[in-house]
Structure 1
Amino acid sequence: MAATMKNVDEIRNRVILGEFGVKNVHTSDFPGNYPGYDDAWDMHKFQKNFRIDVVHLDESSMEFDMVGIDAAIANAFRRILLAEVPTMAIEKVFIYNNTSIVQDEVLAHRLGLIPIKADPRLFEYRNTGEEAAEEEGSEIDTIQLQLKIKCSRNPRASKDSSDPRELYLNHMVYSKDIKWVPIGNQADVFADSIIGPVHDDILIAQLRPGQELDIIMHCVKGIAVSPDSTYGAWRRCGECFADCCTDRVTSFGGGSVMVWGDIFLSHHWR
């Protein structure tokens, strides 16, 4: 059924977030789509109307608006950035000692989700296959990280204190405790680079006196979507849409709707 004239402007100019899905994301730039509108696609008109407004840009993130383009095309760019931009991620975790209450597999999963700050353009892809999987990484395709920490009692703590921050030393294990261990000539090649976790305040585990972690991690280059993908895509949590581009019309009677489309370019998505 053809849309009524009073709904044409809304369909052409608004993406509707409904209770059961997103509407009006299809293209309308072809003749005869809506009566009374000349929607023939024109290159000069597109070049005149299309623009990219950079809202925020720093060394770890970029926020921009794509104006004058269909939502489906903008979404395609978002998916390409998420899935096909190479990153360095922790692939292998060698646990030599783990006396914490966190199981080995849970600990390895947590470590694998920590975004790593390293330029993937300076590394090669590791060869796939059973033979390559058994080979040790080299300086051209692998980053080696180490997490070695042990919790102990603080001899200077007050006897009446019950605060773990005063009673124990190294009882909170953060991503800042992960150290880079250069392989081969990496110390010279990356002398001006800071390789390690993007964020220093990611909590990994909590320890008590006598408990310790001794772990080696190997990071390799990969993309989020590949035939044998084991890599994650880290996205900034919580952002769904920009309030400045939203018309609040009505609220739903119940339930919830989740939409994600944020782009985060900090070597990893989180």
Structure 2
Amino acid sequence: MAARRRTEEMRDRVVLGEFGVRNVHTTDFPGNYSGYDDAWDQRRFEQAFRVDVIREEGDALEFDMVGIDAAIANAFRRILLAEVPTMAVEKVFVYNNTSIVQDEILAHRLGLIPIRADPRLFEYRNQVYSKHMTWVPLGNQTDLFPDADFRPVHDDILIALLRPGQEIDVLMHCVKGIGKDHAKFSPVATASYRLLPDITLLQPIEDEAAEMLQKCFSPGVIEIQNIKGKKVARVANARLDTFSREVFRHESLKNLVRLARVRNHYIFSVESTGILPPDVLVSEAIKILMGKCQRFLNELDSVPME
């Protein structure tokens, strides 16, 4: 039983040493750990998996995704960056531009301005051939989208500085697209994840050593308590740590602390460009990931059995 507990602990933690990292792989692929039943089990996955929303402020969202493989976490991040659709300026018809900014640079800047238009109301562009040429009136779009407020997300994005007498007169066409086609369609400013820090004090650390230990970590990680007249260090909030490994620079401390990360606990940070709220982006990314899984299952079902 003791050996099994040690194996489980080794599986659950990525340990940071002074000069390297142990148990660096974060995969659940069967066979990584000898003598351990690591075959994937749906019931066990459903019991362990959870999503906890930690903080949502404006266009920023922080949530924990626990009980998944690193490949799934990274796939989810990449979908947020490159596959959740948005609307962006695609064509710029320049009628007059007497500013110092060249037409091409102006068009590029306009394309990077986030447009507040729900992409779920629009369809993707199709490949166009001569048979597709047809007349489409624009007058009824007001009736199609009566509650729409299509405009830039921010009103204070500087496009160009104009001298007296200069002007810019352009007509812009917006289309629906995804970030892997062009960065202007990416709906997030940042989408990242990190493993949950795990800090263990291997023995009591007191007085001057406690104060030195507190300075080795990010503010709020180590707390000093007064116990029977002694200053005693304790881990208050390991989540705030950025793993600078400063503690390994002190000979008196480096063997008293174990730095690790929880292998299957991912802290996601998503910051929207403002086109859609971050919680909606997460929901859309989940739908896209589910669609990918369903297409893969359909492909498997279509393979003839020998």
Name the TM-score class by shorter chain. 0.5 to 0.7
Instruction: Kindly state the Cα deviation for residue 42 of structure 1 after the two structures are TM-superposed.
Output: 2.1
Query: Which deviates more, 7-16 or 78-87?
Result: 7-16
Query: Is the contact made by 1:8 and 1:34 (CA closer than 8 Å) also made in structure 2?
Result: no
* SS of residue in 1 equivalent to 2:72: helix
Is 1:217 the counterpart of 2:177 in the alignment? no
Give, in whole Å, the separation in 2 of the partners of 1:264 and 1:135.
40
Give, in whole Å, the separation in 1 of the partners of 2:193 and 2:46.
28
More helix per residue: 2
Instruction: Kindly state the Cα deviation for residue 47 of structure 1 after the two structures are TM-superposed.
Output: 1.0
The amino acid that maps onto 2:148 is S
Is 1:189 the counterpart of 2:184 in the alignment? no
TM-score normalised to the size of structure 1? 0.61
Query: Is the contact made by 2:190 and 2:271 (CA closer than 8 Å) also made in structure 1?
Result: no
**Structure 2 gap ranges (5+):** 197-237, 247-267, 279-306
Aligned twin of 1:28: 28
Larger Rg: 2
Instruction: Kindly state the Cα deviation for residue 201 of structure 1 after the two structures are TM-superposed.
Output: 2.0
Give, in whole Å, the separation in 2 of the partners of 1:107 and 1:197.
16
The amino acid that maps onto 1:27 is T
* SS of residue in 2 equivalent to 1:77: helix
Query: Is the contact made by 1:25 and 1:70 (CA closer than 8 Å) also made in structure 2?
Result: no
CA RMSD of aligned residues (A): 4.1
TM-score normalised to the size of structure 2? 0.55
**Structure 1 gap ranges (5+):** 140-182, 252-260
Query: Is the contact made by 2:85 and 2:119 (CA closer than 8 Å) also made in structure 1?
Result: yes
The amino acid that maps onto 1:193 is A
- The match for 1:248 among 243, 248, 259 is 243
Instruction: Kindly state the Cα deviation for residue 84 of structure 1 after the two structures are TM-superposed.
Output: 2.3
Instruction: Kindly state the Cα deviation for residue 211 of structure 1 after the two structures are TM-superposed.
Output: 1.2
Give, in whole Å, the separation in 2 of the partners of 1:60 and 1:82.
15
Residues 33 and 48 of structure 1: CA distance in aligned 2, closer, same or farther (over 3 Å)? same
> Alpha-carbon deviations, 1:197-234, whole Å to 9, x = none?
112221111112111111110001122235xx685324
Is 1:14 the counterpart of 2:9 in the alignment? no
Residues 247 and 212 of structure 1: CA distance in aligned 2, closer, same or farther (over 3 Å)? closer
Query: Is the contact made by 2:193 and 2:269 (CA closer than 8 Å) also made in structure 1?
Result: yes
Q: How does 1:42-121 map to 2 (within 5 A)?
A: 42-57=41-56, 62-121=61-120
> Aligned residues, how many?
209
Aligned twin of 2:270: 263
Give, in whole Å, the separation in 1 of the partners of 2:78 and 2:110.
25
